[in-house]
Amino acid sequence: MNMSGARLLQMAATIAGLTVTSNIVAEPNRAEELEHLRIDTGYIIEAGELEVNIVPSYFDYDGERRQEIEAELEYAISDRLMVEVEVPYRRMSFDGAGEDIDGAGNVELGAKWLLAEGENFSGSFGVGVALPSSDDRPGISDDLWGVDLSVPFTLRFPDRSMSLHVEAGMEWKEQEGFEEQLLNVAIERRPDGRNITLQLGSNIVHEESDWEAYLIPAFEIAATAIPFQFGMGVAAGLTSESADWGLLADFEVEF
């Protein structure tokens, strides 16, 4: 791991230390997804609520840079079921003689079902269907169907103003089968009951013989006058297949 990754790990340790030093009770963050940490939570949005997210990201690999901006539209049909549409746009840049490529990625339709929710626990089941693109471009889009399955759950610790999110999932792709497995974990704390939430997440993705893993210190700020939230995370790559570092953000508006 390079020096920038080491500095990010030091930042992560600082945030983790903050999560256990106070016993002030604050309202939990009930977001259904932490896009800047790339993890679903056990929650869904409230019935009748419409949410729009713009999620830009940048990852710097050895000799390659990947940029993406994704538009997400989410709507809760009931207290148990929400649906969403995701539309990504991607760009890949290469060192040396390689030409930059960019274009729209595969559109994905998804649904999330709230299985159970208690005072300090929530669990859901999610499914997403990636629609085949008319243009097969490696790294940008492909002409195959895909299905994502995930089981996220959330545990709350009110006496510490903390929440723990865990998501396990897998991806099936036409002609290739179940090619990808993932495990995402995030811990967050809202200090002093304020509108800022401190977060620490990790992503582990296994695809064939490759492992990508990241540690992501992050924060999220919620506006008080309008239903708007902004989150940002800085990813440190932990394996040779991972990017050296990455930057993720999320702009969220609720209606």
Whether 93 contacts 59, CB under 8 Å: no
Q: How confident is the model over 43-69, as pLDDT tens digits?
A: 999 999 999 999 999 999 998 999 999
Counting other chains too, the contacts that 200-206 makes at CB distance below 8 Å and 24 or more residues apart are 200/12, 200/15, 200/16, 200/19, 201/34, 201/37, 201/38, 201/39, 201/233, 203/37, 203/38, 203/39, 203/235, 205/180, 205/181, 206/180, 206/181, 206/182
For 209, residues 6+ apart whose C-beta sits below 8 A from its C-beta are none
Rounded Cα–Cα distance for residues 80 and 139 (Å)? 34
User: If you average pLDDT over residues 182-194, what whole number do you get?
Assistant: 89
Whether 169 contacts 179, CB under 8 Å: no
Q: How confident is the model over 195-247, as pLDDT tens digits?
A: 899 999 999 999 988 999 999 999 999 987 788 999 999 999 999 999 999 99
Q: How confident is the model over 96-131, as pLDDT tens digits?
A: 767 899 999 999 999 999 999 999 999 999 999 999
Residues counted in the chain: 255
What is the number of H-type helices and E-type strands within the chain? 1, 15
Q: What's the pLDDT at 25? A: 39
Q: Locate 144 and state its tokens.
A: 């195959």
Reduce the DSSP state of residue 203 to 3 states and report it: strand
As to burial, measured by CB atoms within 10 angstroms (0-12 exposed, 13-18 middle, 19+ buried), residue 209 is exposed
